[in-house]
Structure 1
Amino acid sequence: MARELRIEIDDEQWAQLQREAHERHEDPTVYAGRVLAQELNKARFLEGSALFLSTPGVREEFASRFGPEPGPTASAA
């Protein structure tokens, strides 16, 4: 279910939001909602990953299956 959220941002932030939304051919309020949702999803993913890796034995099992070294296309998050 969607919820309405009201926030206040300063004029400089609003101008930046409008520019970025315009570059993507989106309404600024729609763009702001999408960006906020993406950031919240990222935070939830990182929290879940940390919890997963903090479970006893999981880190070692993961490393034994996939190796302790990142692949050639890996990048730091």
Structure 2
Amino acid sequence: MGLGTSGIILLAIVALLLFGPNKLPELGRAFGRTLKEFKNGAKDIMGDEDQNERKTVSTVQADAPRSGEPMNNKRLPD
């Protein structure tokens, strides 16, 4: 399913013909910047999810009765 060596060479030749030798370095830099921004954004999103999970776990732990404490068995009126 991946590109073999001949596929990569063919892709490079097509890119060279479409954009010319002067435009390729500029396109490569733009692609690199885009990829870097995407990775940073993905890390931020994953970091936010990790923080939310930690908050949820700490909230659940805070709400849970501690060992030795009686459970609060309040019932709603019928």
Common topology (TM > 0.5): no
Q: Counting helix residues as a fraction of each chain, which structure ranks higher?
A: 2
Q: TM-score, normalised by structure 1?
A: 0.44
